[in-house]
Amino acid sequence: MFTSEACDMNATVNDPDLHLQCFNDHGIFTIDELNLLSKTVKPQLSALHLNVRSFNQHFDEFKNLFDSLPFSFDFVGCSETFFNSQLNLDRFEILGYQLITDNRTFSSGGGVALYVKRDHTFKVRDDFKLPDIENIWIESADLVIAVIYKPPQFPNQDFLDKFEEILHKIYLSKRRCIIMRDKY
């Protein structure tokens, strides 16, 4: 539990974790909270995940949101992109980022995208890829980053079994991990 002193963003407490916990306990922030937080906490590494529910319909809103943020994220994961193999992805490029996608092939909807800031060197880790769902895995330095979208109809237990195997591989490799995924 934090006292009101610990949650005062202007206090002299130098622990950025305390400032993060003052906002909420679930890691979900509003734009106003991010603006306030950016004045106090300078992250070494940052990631953002959004369910865009069709980039074709919402890319301009995404771009406006992205442009209004007080700092740039190192990794931006997006789920439910609704991309397909016939779509020209050039329209969805963002200056300073490389775009990686995994599109749904068996029906419309779904899909994931990962924007990686261009100053990060990385390699795609297909050996971590979960079968039958949309997911992207990369490795940058000693960090593994993933974006996962499990369709609602995909059996939860099957997903959890496969996901646990991948997490075990990552654990054995002694790498840090950021996993961005939707609610399912």
pLDDT digits (tens, 9 = 90+) for 36-89: 877 777 778 889 999 999 999 999 999 999 888 888 899 999 999 999 888 899
What is the pLDDT, as a whole number, of residue 40?
77
pTM of structure: 0.83
pLDDT at 68: 86
Provide the residue type at 126 as one letter.
D
d(CA 125, CA 121): 13
Please, which pLDDT band fits residue 180 given cuts at 50, 70 and 90? Answer: very high
Decide yes or no: CATH 3.60.10.10 for domain 45-181. Answer: yes
- Ordered by start, the domain boundaries in the chain are 1-42, 45-181
